[in-house]
Amino acid sequence: MVAVVAGLLLLGMLGRFVLPGQVLTWGEWQLLRQRAAYQREVVILQRASDKLTTMVNQEDIDPIHAQLASEQLARKFEDVSLIPLDAPRQALLETVQAIIDWSLGHSKQPAIIAQKHANQLVLQASQ
């Protein structure tokens, strides 16, 4: 019994050195979790935006490559579920569709415009 109490006291003192100045409340913990989730999802959108920019900067694009790349990106967007990131996610999906249309023979200009708009929204979300 004395050993258990001594062990708990030792763990308590050790915890003071390991933990920051205060223990987080449930609300603070939830806020930290949401911030971390937001940052993870912004990284997903940034990487997708970079890939789409690379595709738009090409002189010509193969329809099969465009379709495969768009399917991969669409699967990655399934991981982006936070409401504040809906606008950049939707803009990137519109860019994907514009790139597919371009690969099928339509004008490249809508893909360029859509990508610039998506880049702006992703940049705003990352700040």
Residues 6+ apart with CB under 8 A from 65: 103
Distance from C-alpha of 114 to C-alpha of 100, rounded to nearest angstrom: 12
pLDDT in tens, 35-65: 999 999 999 999 999 999 999 998 888 888 8
Per-residue pLDDT tens digits for 4-43: 777 777 766 666 666 666 777 888 888 889 999 999 999 9
DSSP 32-78: HHHHHHHHHHHHHHHHHHHHHHHHHTSS---HHHHHHHHHHHHHHHT
Structure tokens of 23?
A: 């223990």
